Amino acid sequence: MRAVVIGLALAAFVSGAASAQNEPRGDAKAGAAHLQKFGCYSCHGAVGQGNGRDGPRISPPMPFAPFLQQVRTPRLEMPAYVAASISDQQVADIIAYLAGLPRTANPTAIRALQ
């Protein structure tokens, strides 16, 4: 039984690593253009900050697989974007753009806001 559990854990780890290797490598410059082209900015903001009403914060982005799943089969009000509308590569480009943005300061760390 223990060998089965270890085997399943190893298989899950290897498949996760293989999945990460198959993810497209994103181009941040193209991702900035795609964020505008596909209208993502209208709900999520130009830098993925969200707008507090229509679209949640998407920066920093989640990993590729869950981000892609949200794009393809969204929760709540976001329209679904099928592969014919936006490719996996274009999604990877948007993630690369968002991941490359500078992080904002934590408001609790800003003395003037306390």
- What does the pLDDT look like over 64-85, one tens digit per residue? 999 999 999 998 889 999 999 9
Which residues does 1 contact at the CB level (< 8 Å), separation at least 6? none
Which residues does 88 contact at the CB level (< 8 Å), separation at least 6? 24, 68
- What does the pLDDT look like over 49-62, one tens digit per residue? 998 788 999 999 99
CATH architecture observed for domain 26-102:
Orthogonal Bundle (1.10)
DSSP 103: P
Q: Give yes or no for a contact between 86 and 38, defined as CB atoms under 8 angstroms apart.
A: yes
pTM: 0.74
- What does the pLDDT look like over 6-44, one tens digit per residue? 544 444 444 444 456 789 999 999 999 999 999 999 999
